[in-house]
Amino acid sequence: MSSNVPISSNITAPTPQNTPLNKAPIALGLSRPTVPDITEDNEQNETEEAKPELGGLEQQMLGMVQGKLAGLIGKSSGYIESLPIDVRLSVEALKGVQVKQNELQNQYKRECLELEKKYLALQVPLYQRRNAIIAGESAPTQEEIDAGEQYSIKDDDEYVTIPKGTDPTASGIPEFWLTALRNHLGISELITERDADALKHLTDIRLEYLNDKAEGGKPGFKLLFTFSPNQYFENDVLEKTYFYQEEVGYSGDFVYDRAIGTEIKWKEDQDLTKEFEIKKQRNKTTNRTRLVRKAHPTESFFNFFSPPVPPAEDALENGDIDEEELEDIEEKLEVDYQMGEDLKEKVIPRAIDYFTGKALEYDVMDDEDDFEDDDDDDESGAFEDDSDEDADIPARRRGPPKGAANANANPEECKTQ
């Protein structure tokens, strides 16, 4: 073995990062007292009872130590560099094998994307039929009604069928999309009362995939919101386009790159993304006053069409953006991307479930799955479980465990539309 560094036969496998070159005393087999004497036991109890708060200096020292440790994450511990050359060559060879795996994963995700496009095309006639019924352009057929009732009976043992004898008409469903959006946990928080009046004119939401095979094309998708004439803006269609990066990310899925939205052509004094304030100003010279109208940004669903812009590489490298500002941008980008994915994967394909509220129950369960029980129970009694409220959720709608039927949970499964 060609190396100056010997390898013992009983070497302990280290972690990849932050591994000390020398073993700790405990790892070397050095003994330490395992049973404290009476004095030590008393001292331990006294220490546990006292637990004095850290002073200012101690707090600063603790912060410095934590900062140093955080800075070590991702840095080499020197272990890999200390391996014999022939072992290091094998490590590099494994990286070469990983490159081929990554290429196959990239090809796999590309083919999954093509499969999504194929099934979206197959669903377009069904989406068109859905839109015709919602808009009142066409009356539902008896066959469609019967299929819907069979689905409701299977889903709910207490479902009461609609009385027979009434012929279906092209009556339409008012405020269908506004109701569906309000029944999405995340989106509902963005809809203000002013937004709601405008969203009453939302007649359809459609999905289109980008042509990434065209010259300069990138993978991604587009959301199209169609509106009837309204008092707020001139646009008939508002679009939001999401671009993916060319290569899949470390997790094996497409990585969000950026998003662009339609510029909304607001009618005079109807911009829902701004609040207007009237202020009185006094001229210092003439002492005359005037009223000035100032606009301030405000929360609105329609900010969705003005997505946050990722920071430029140069600004990141030069340190022009401080850590707090960067975290704020990253949080906004994550929220924006998640909202687009939810519209694409949930709201558009299952719009009727969001309109009726059925999907909301599954979303609540998914949200609860993101939280784990704390091992430290609440001893103060300030919180107690509300079993009655949980019992009100029908058992029929207690969905499968998170990940069992969620394509997003497993990157090894294709997501189909």
Is the pLDDT score of 381 beyond 90?
no
Q: Say what the pLDDT of residue 384 is.
A: 53
Amino acid at 48: E
For the ranges 19-23, 155-159, 355-359, the one whose mean pLDDT is highest:
355-359
Q: Quick one: pLDDT band at residue 404, thresholds 50, 70, 90?
A: very low
pLDDT reading at 325 higher than 90:
no
Whether 278 has a pLDDT exceeding 50, the answer reads: yes
Is residue 221 within a helix (H) or strand (E), and if so which, with residue range?
strand 220-227
Residue 397 has pLDDT above 50, yes or no: no
Q: What is the pTM of this model?
A: 0.68
394 vs 276, residue with greater confidence: 276
What's the pLDDT at 71? 61
CA dist 53 and 58 (Å) reads: 9
Residue 43 has pLDDT above 90, yes or no: no
Distance CA 232, CA 226 (A): 14
d(CA 310, CA 287): 47
The reported pLDDT for the residue numbered 85 is 94
Specify the higher pLDDT residue, 260 or 256: 260
Q: What is the DSSP letter of 266?
A: B
Strand-pairing partners, residue 342, are none
**How confident is residue 237, by pLDDT bands cut at 50, 70 and 90?**
very high
DSSP E strand boundaries for 232-384: 237-248, 254-261, 274-282, 289-297
Q: Which of 47-51, 52-56, 69-73, 102-106 has the highest mean pLDDT?
A: 102-106
Q: Which of 89-93, 123-127, 132-136, 254-258 has the lowest mean pLDDT?
A: 254-258
> Predicted confidence band at 299 (pLDDT cuts at 50, 70, 90)?
very high
